Amino acid sequence: MKLREPAMTQPPQPVPTQETQPFWDAARDGRVVLWRCDDCGRLAHPQAPRCPDCLSESLRARPYAGRVLLKGRTVLTVPAFEGQAVPAPVAECVIEDEPRITLIAQDPEDLTRTLAPGAPVTLSFTAPGGGVPLATIGGAA
């Protein structure tokens, strides 16, 4: 007999670690921080233990003020957790200066519906219920 998993009633929350805490602290303040290698200058995703290009361990969190580009979008039609409003537009975004870094963002106003891939968008953060901040699309940049 297969037991059924209990239904999720809250969205899953990321769990900040020592390495990712600067990202979440900045997100709570509405800012984007990425890791930059001190040796070669490559931008890296917050969970990277070392530079993906030169393998240096000299990565530091630095504010990112560059553009974010729309890569794609989808609309969730089946709730991921009990009580989730659907349809729920979601955008896949990339960092213009480092397109290998992808961010997934909510698009509650469906602003990306009329945008083509490559269009610049504004990325902000919201913290529903005071929880961990979630990336949200704020419109065309």
Residue-wise pLDDT for 15-60, tens only, equals 888 888 888 888 888 888 899 999 999 999 877 889 999 999 999 9
Secondary structure element (H or E) that encloses residue 121, with its range: strand 120-126
- Identify the CATH number of the domain in which residue 81 sits: 2.40.50
> Residues of 58-69 as b/e, b for ≥16 C-beta within 10 angstroms?
ebebeebeeebb
Q: Which single residue is written with the structure tokens 């997934």?
A: 104
Confidence of residue 6 (pLDDT cuts 50, 70, 90): low
Q: pLDDT tens-digit profile of 76-108?
A: 999 877 778 899 999 999 999 899 999 999 998
Do 71 and 133 have their domain in common? yes
Number of Cβ within 10 Å of residue 44's Cβ equals 19
Say which amino acid occupies 71.
K
Please give the tally of structural domains in the chain.
2
Do 28 and 90 have their domain in common? no
Instruction: Please answer whether residues 140 and 119 qualify as being in contact, where contact means their C-beta atoms are separated by less than 8 angstroms.
Output: yes
Looking at 24-28, 64-68, 115-119, which range is the least confident one?
64-68
Prediction pTM value: 0.79
Residue 23, C-beta contacts closer than 8 angstroms, at least 6 positions apart: 16, 33, 46, 61
**Alpha-helix runs per DSSP H in 1-141:** 21-28
Do 86 and 139 have their domain in common? yes
Domain that holds residue 132: 66-141
Do 118 and 70 have their domain in common? yes
